[in-house]
Amino acid sequence: MITDPQKYFYVCDGKVLKDLVDMLAALREIDDETFAHHVNSEKNDFYNWTRDVLKDAPLAKKLSMTIDRAEMIAAVESREKVVSKNHKKKAVISQIQEAIASG
């Protein structure tokens, strides 16, 4: 999760995005006009934010190849599952390391 407000994604309808979960919710909820403001043939703000702020190259690559909302939602859903699974693995490893260290 991004903690620096200067790096948040500020959707033109007032939503504030801090991570992939927020982005997925926004993509599902925003109206067509708001989506078109951020994603069109001229620009793709979700791609830019994913690349430049989240530093998620695999997802950014997928987002760069589409301006279709359904495709973007599918890409973010897929990536969020992978990221979530990796966070869970790291948490378990951390718990095991702590248990070993405490003896």
Indicate whether 86 belongs to any domain: no
68 vs 50: CA distance, rounded Å: 16
Indicate whether 33 belongs to any domain: yes
90 vs 53: CA distance, rounded Å: 22
Indicate whether 100 belongs to any domain: no
Indicate whether 92 belongs to any domain: no
Indicate whether 44 belongs to any domain: yes
Indicate whether 39 belongs to any domain: yes
Q: What is the pLDDT of residues 60-84, one digit of tens each?
A: 999 999 999 999 999 999 998 887 7
Q: Where are the beta strands (DSSP E) in the chain?
A: 9-10, 16-17
Indicate whether 12 belongs to any domain: yes
63, 69, 75, 81: CA torsion to nearest 10? 130
Indicate whether 34 belongs to any domain: yes
What is the reported pLDDT for 85? 74
How many distinct structural domains can be found in the chain?
A: 1
Beta-carbon contacts of residue 35 (< 8 Å; ≥ 6 apart):
27, 69
Which residue range forms the structural domain that includes residue 69? 5-78
- Tell me the mean pLDDT in the region 11-34: 96
